[in-house]
Amino acid sequence: MSVKFRVTLLMAALIGGPAAAADLPSRKAPPVYVPPPPLWTGFYAGLNAGYGWGTTSGATTEALPLIDNIANDPAWGTPLGFAAAAHAGVSNVNQSGFIGGGQIGYNYQWGPAFVAGLEADIQGSAIGGRGGHGGFAQFGPDLSGFTEAAMGSSTVIAGVDWLGTVRGRLGYLVTPTLLAYGTGGLAYGGARAISTHSLGFTDNVPTVHPTFGGVGRYSDIRVGWTAGGGLEWMFAPNWSMKAEALYYDLGAASFASSPVGALFSNGSNIIFANIPTTRVRFDGVIARAGLNYHLNWGAEAPAAPPAPPPTWTDFYAGLNAGYGWGATTNVTTGAAPILDNIATAWGTPVGFTALANSGVTSVNQSGYVGGGQIGFNYRWTPAIVAGFETDIQGSAIRGSAGSVGFAQFGPDLFAANDTAIGANVVVASVDWIGTARGRLGYLVMPTLLAYGTGGLAYGGVRATAIHSLGFVDDNLTTIYPTLGGAGRYSDIRVGWTAGGGLEWAFTPNWTLKAEALYYDLGSATFASSPVGARDPDGTNGGGFAGALLFANSPTTRVRYDGVIARAGVNYHFSWGEAPVVAKF
């Protein structure tokens, strides 16, 4: 091959090479965008709701002798304080109920996989329960050849009205957006308990001795500890959901009740009196879900184009928390006579003693509420939004109070004055409440909705009424044994609700709302066991010792209505305009 030909081929290759290479497909891939990992360092705040269960259900009652006039009596010779065993025992009080509230905290991401932090929270609580036990003590024969028997009963009501914690958290990032953590620290809360005790005492049946019962109350802010763990998921920039379980222990409280005892059948003196002491433990487990907003989550992102205005046509779901106040505080108790042997024997008006347990008790029901809601909106015109929402909340709305009544007549046929003094204690509560409501709103601006709402309300309600009585004639020279009464009511009631609020779309898919609702679950009327007095020795118109002189049946009426003020956060599943897709 000639030198000239070789030079020609070389020049052709040099000239045509770039052109041919330009026709070949490029094998160089575009750079892959790797988003920055989530940065967990920063402050956050949110809401939570859940349920709590008590772990220690046994409430122990013990009784110690205060007075015992028969232990050394030569006619009796009973063991010292033997009747106290009638009130010793354990009541099974299962404390449980809904909780709901909010939390704030701070996280620090320590290396690529560890997060440490501090969190504080506070919740309204409907955690509560009641239980009772009976006891029996017997001795015989005594020095007179008789047998004495004491029969006691105790009822204990206990609960935690609110609960807060301050906890450290230490977690491991299973993935960049999923944190598994343990937590523990301080717990504190408002604890309460009530114990009531009654007694029956007899010797050589049918001799029945008049008795008196006792009541004890406890209310305090207790401090303890808590520990638990959970999972938290960063499902979107700035937003996380968590599920956690916490064990809390606020310790145990012991409190004494007023004395329980018996009188001689003629009312001349005390046979014995015992002091019951009740011990309740406030501990349990809370399981709850929560939603947090992180104030500085993630690395700084490039500026995004302005978001389209919200359509307000979509499904949504969220959480809420707030406080409720009862509107009707008056609880009415009326007593009616069912037996009156003194009307004819003494010449007293029929049923005059019933006035002693009739009257009005002012029960202020109030407490925290917290729960969740789901709903649907439809934007009917550019400015009008219609929708439907349903919600359910745990509730610590409750209250208790007492009243005293007085009835007197005299002189009777024996020229004596007859006096009845009665007392009523009423405890009422709404344990949970839900609504199903229509909503109609006006868009003050594209992201701010002012709305009215109304519809169905329903909830679980409770009430307890306890009645006691004292009866004397002729200026306290004769003391008559009396019997107290108690009534309980528990039901799911249905009523109505109406109110209004504001909802603000502060980011795509997320809104905040503040609203007030009036609810009315109607009124409930329930009867209690009879209240009355007995003939101590058979010479006062009863015919035999222990016979009823009169008995009245109290009936209590409680209204369940009030106002709830609450805040909430909602996630909207299809918020905003559909994106525009370019076609070529």
- Among 299, 325, 344, which residue terminates a domain? 299
Q: 375 lies in which domain range?
A: 317-575
Q: Kindly state whether residues 499 and 376 are assigned to the same domain.
A: yes
491 shares its domain with 384: yes
Do 291 and 321 have their domain in common?
Answer: no
Would you state the structure tokens that stand for residue 490, as one six-digit string?
């528990």
Neighbouring C-alpha atoms within 13 Å toward the C-beta of 85: 11
Residues 248 and 326 in one domain: no
Model pLDDT, residue 584: 39
pLDDT exceeds 70 at position 301 = no
- Spatial CB neighbours of 226, under 8 Å, sequence gap ≥ 6: 165, 167, 183, 184, 185, 186, 187, 246, 247, 248, 249
Please report whether residue 550 resides in a domain.
yes
- Average pLDDT over every residue of 59-72: 91
| Domain-located, residue 512 | yes
Any idea which of 24-28, 127-131, 342-346, 577-581 has the lowest mean pLDDT?
577-581
Whether residues 272 and 376 share a domain: the answer is no
- 388 and 271 in a common domain: no
Q: Do the domain assignments include residue 24?
A: no
Do 367 and 229 lie in a common domain? no
- Do 83 and 56 sit in the same domain of this protein? yes
> Given the structure tokens 């109290």, which residue do they identify?
554
If asked whether residues 285 and 373 sit together in one domain, one would say no
Chain segment 421-473, per-residue pLDDT in tens: 888 889 999 999 999 999 999 999 999 999 999 999 999 999 999 898 888 88
Q: Which pLDDT does position 4 carry in this prediction?
A: 47
Residue type, 243: A
- pLDDT bin (cut points 50, 70, 90) of residue 309 is low
Residues 400 and 438 occupy one common structural domain: yes
Pairing of strands 178-203, 207-209: antiparallel
Q: What is the pLDDT of residues 488-502, one digit of tens each?
A: 999 999 999 999 999
In this model, does residue 559 exceed pLDDT 60?
yes
Instruction: Express as a percent the part of the chain with pLDDT over 90.
Output: 58
Of 299, 334, 362, the residue at which a domain comes to its end is: 299
Does residue 280 sit in the same domain as residue 359? no
**Mean pLDDT of the 534-543 span:** 81
Domain total in the chain: 2
The total number of residues written for the chain in this structure:
584
- The answer to which of 31-35, 71-75, 266-270, 538-542 has the lowest mean pLDDT is 31-35
Residue 258 lies in a domain: yes
**What sign for the dihedral angle of Cα 69, 72, 73, 76?**
positive
pLDDT level of residue 5 (50, 70, 90 thresholds):
very low
